[in-house]
Structures are given as C-alpha cells and as structure tokens.
Amino acid sequence: MAAPAAPAASRAVRNVVFVDGVRTPFGKAGPKGIYAETRADDLVVKVIRELLRRHPELPPERVDEVAVAATTQIGDQGLTIGRTAAILAGLPKSVPGYAIDRMCAGAMTAVTTSASGIAFGAYDVVIAGGVEHMGRHPMGEGVDPNPRFLADKLVDPSALVMGQTAENLHDRFPHLTKERADAYAVASQAKYDAALKAGKISADLVPVAVRSAEHGWGLATADEPPRPGTTMEALAGLKTPFRPHGRVTPGNAAGLNDGATGAILADEATAVELGLPVAMRLVGYSFAGVDPEVMGVGPVPATEKALRRAGLTIDDIGLFEINEAFAVQVLAFLDHFGIADDDPRVNPWGGAIACGHPLASSGVRLMTQLARHFAERPDVRYGITTMCIGIGMGGTVIWENPHWNGGDK
C-alpha cells in the first residue's frame, strides 16, 4: 500500500479584486422586446468580447475560468454556457468554463464562487457573469417541482410564485404599505433618469446589434424598461396581478427582462502585474436561507452574516446596491437596519424597478454600479451588493473601495 501523500503546504488567502464590469442594455421580454430575435448566448459573447476590448492589457490566455449563470438552463441558455460562450467569444480553447444557477443571484454566485478560487490560488483571472432571456425562456420553463414540496407541506404554495411571496411580505410587515412601495418605485425611476441624463449609466453598457425580421438590423444602446416621469397617481391605478386588491403591481416591481452581464476578477498581485485597474476589493460574502414564502427578506440574514464574519457593522457601510426585485423587499431590508426609505446611500442611480432585472444577470449589474460609485466617492470605504433569491434565500457581498481616502465610511 502506498504511503499517503504529504499534506499540501499552507496557503495565505489572496486578495481578490473586481477589475471591471459591463452589461448589455436590458430589454423587455416578449415578442416586441429589443432582443426578441437575439440569442441569449450571443448576449454573453458580446459582454465577454467587450471586457477584453476594454482591457487589451489582459492576454486572453491568462483567463483561467469563465463562469456564467442562467436561471433557465435550456436552449440557447444551456449547454454549459460558460464554456460555449467562451469559445464563441474567441477565447483560447484552453480556457475552461461552466454554468451556474442560484436563480436571481446567479451572477452574484458566479462571482463569489470564482473569487473563492482566486483567493485559494486555483485561478489568477476569471470572467464571471450571467444572462437571462426571459422572452425566450420564461421563469420556470421546463421545471418539474417535486410534488412533495406541497404534499408534505414543506413550503407554502405561494413560495413558487415570486410575486406572491412579495404579497406575503406585505402581509408580514403591514406597515410596509403599497403607498410606501409606490413612493420607493417613483424615486427609483427618478434617480435612474437623473443618472442617465448625467451620463452615469452609459459607461456600463455595450451596444448590441439586434435583428428583426420585420424591421431589419438595429442597435440596442439603452435600457428599454425605464419609465421616466412615473408618478404616484399613475402607479395607484395599476392592477395587482398576484392577488385581488393586492399591493404588488408592475409599477413597484421589476419587470420581465432580457440581458447579460460580465466582470473581470483577479488576484490583486496579478492585476498589478498585468496593469489591470482595481475597482473594488472583495471583503467577504454570505448567503442565507429564509422561509421560501417570504423570500424577499433574504438579504437581511445574509447581510447580518456577512457583516459579522467580516468584523463590520451596518454603520460601516457607506453605499448600498440592493436589487429591486420588489419595492417591498427593499423596504423590509431598510426597515430592519433602521435606514430611511430615501437614504442617499441606497441605489443612488436607481435600480431594477427602473432598468430591469434579467434574473441571473443582475448580481454583476449591482457590482459594476457600486464600482462606479466607489470611483466617485473616495470618502466611502465599504459598500455592499445584496439581493433576495427565489426559493427563500438572500445573498450579500461586501466590497472595499481602493480609492478610500480615510474618510468616516
């Protein structure tokens, strides 16, 4: 019998940095949306190519992994999309890739999983992101939930319909009224519109050539979902599709959207070696489970866990990028931590209620936007990206601003 192998030498955990992120403009799902006749994998290819175009200092062969998330891994979102998109994007065939699914937090998990590999020393540089073409692949397409979920009463029947879980959150916290949710949604639209007009949004976007059998070729250069000028009066009259006389409407929730995101992550020493910019440093992350029927509260325990493990408190956080799947979910988070609905640290350029939420892609949108904030806010040291996740989860990632000048936060 052979002698056991000697234990591996101990390793120091390496610093992981967020180099840059980009995304396609987000479209409206459906036959009239800008991506109705565009493949999901081609959206990912466009993102990968744009990252490489923006960073010629990164030799393609130095990319060690491509992690791409999709919630509905079928059709043009299937076939191990991280690997196939890498090949289609022109990366060397020596670059591996994989697909990942954690529903809305797919891209977030692609980042945290591959970043863990960097910290451990398995990778030096990775590309991580996500895609969702909800027009081609509606949420839940092809799934077959085990009947025991309901037969054994493991979850409430509403747990499988995200809009119903948002209504449940209103039930659990009746002080989170429809009026508060609508007011938050109006503010999100206004902040996004102001940021767009100030040129803040365009830095994230890569134009995408689109084709329509009816209209021919075109170019997607801007997000399709925003509704500038939204008012409380307009939102008050919207239908409540998830419950008669409910509180969740198309106006205070993110829509059904198509789009892709991607980011370059690297070991900090490797970034310095290659001349890659350092936009953010990873501090820590956590995922947490909650009752699936109130999945929107997931960011609360995820954030508490992440802060505790990082040795920080909520008062250390100077910027918050919170995914706006539903306004009530954001409000539940803010109320728990004693943060005002209109706190300027929260989603300064608006959020998913305005720009859209193509499920598995959204986590990297939050990170890219936080990186832009950090560049403009050297007074802020720490920020978080956080989101609720279907089937009762939440995810939070804490980031440090490399431009911090020693200010209070």
Residues serving a catalytic function are 104, 357, 388
Element (H, E) at 273: helix 268-274
Fill in the amino acid letter for 120: F
Three-state SS for 167?
Answer: helix
Dihedral (CA of 296, 297, 302, 307) sign: positive
Question: Measured between alpha carbons, how far is residue 215 from residues 30, 135, 178 in Å?
Answer: 16, 18, 40
Number of neighbours of residue 123 by Cβ within 10 angstroms = 22
Distance CA(200)–CA(372), nearest Å, equals: 8
Distance CA(140)–CA(391), nearest Å, equals: 12
What is the secondary structure of 298-351 as a DSSP string?
THHHHHHHHHHHHT--GGGEEEEEE--SBHHHHHHHHHHTT--TT-TTB-TT--
* Proportion of the chain in helix, strand, coil states, percent, rounded to 5: 35, 20, 40
Fill in the amino acid letter for 324: E
Question: Measured between alpha carbons, how far is residue 371 from residues 70, 109, 129, 382, 385 in Å?
Answer: 23, 18, 15, 11, 10
Distance CA(87)–CA(327), nearest Å, equals: 39
Distance CA(224)–CA(33), nearest Å, equals: 8
CA 48 to chain centre: 16
Q: For residue 198, give both structure tokens.
A: 């100030």
Distance CA(211)–CA(54), nearest Å, equals: 25
Q: Is 220 exposed, middle or buried (0-12, 13-18, 19+ CB in 10 A)?
A: buried
